[in-house]
Chain A
Amino acid sequence: AQKITQTQPGMFVQEKEAVTLDCTYDTSDPSYGLFWYKQPSSGEMIFLIYQGSYDQQNATEGRYSLNFQKARKSANLVISASQLGDSAMYFCAMREGRGGATNKLIFGTGTLLAVQP
């Protein structure tokens, strides 16, 4: 069964520094997608970045990049040049299969990031 593990319940980072949020996953399906979402204190879920299992390059979206290591089954989120507004809960999630079978997204337990001035 698919599983997402986020081992860091909380982290601190200084403003303007880079931070890495860890995510490992478990699946037997060769086709899967990995997602990161941000949940600020206001509660909404904000999509950040996506990585497909067959993608050759690591995904990047502005200050967000995904360090995808397929053999290690890890999909760590890297935030460069942290800003105070990055303080939030961050969730890693995975979808198995190439659509058709399921669109289900399974989430990890999240990492609470606090950016300090």
Chain B
Amino acid sequence: NAGVTQTPKFQVLKTGQSMTLQCAQDMNHEYMSWYRQDPGMGLRLIHYSVGAGITDQGEVPNGYNVSRSTTEDFPLRLLSAAPSQTSVYFCASSYWGRWTGELFFGEGSRLTVL
């Protein structure tokens, strides 16, 4: 069972560089989301999607872009990385409409921006 797969697990960037964090799930979940985790701040929602072609902003969307061309994939793009984006990023998915259902998380991607 692959579940939610994130790549890469670790990445170091220079300020101003761009990159994409990949997220794929094989559970046919309609809902997918990206969080960032910073010490003392818990997990904060960046962007989310309720299906292919539909995305929306979360709590901390600035500096990040997303798209959802398929049910399975939900990449997170950093167009011009900043040191403030140094964080651990989690992709998570769930069934849409099953409001009692938990989010399934990927293993996380640790990003350092120098």
Across the interface, do B98 and A106 meet the contact criterion of CB distance under 8 Å? Answer: no
Across the interface, do B41 and A44 meet the contact criterion of CB distance under 8 Å? Answer: no
Q: Which residues of A contact B96 (CB under 8 A)?
A: 99, 103
In angstroms, Cα B104 to Cα A103, docked, is 12
Tally chain A residues at the interface, Cβ within 8 Å: 27
Pick the most buried of A33, A99, A106, A108: most chain B CB atoms within 10 A of its CB: A99
A interface, over-half SS: loop
In angstroms, Cα B103 to Cα A105, docked, is 8
Across the interface, do B42 and A109 meet the contact criterion of CB distance under 8 Å? Answer: yes
Segment of B20-28, B43-51, B62-70, B78-86 in the binding face: B43-51
Q: Shortest Cβ distance from A100 into chain B, in angstroms? A: 6
A73 within 8 A of B: no
A68 within 8 A of B: no
Interface hits, B83-102 → A, CB 8 Å? 88, 90, 92, 94, 96-100, 102
> Which 8 A-B residue pairings sit nearest by Cβ, starting from the closest?
A99-B99, A45-B105, A99-B97, A47-B102, A109-B42, A107-B43, A103-B31, A107-B42
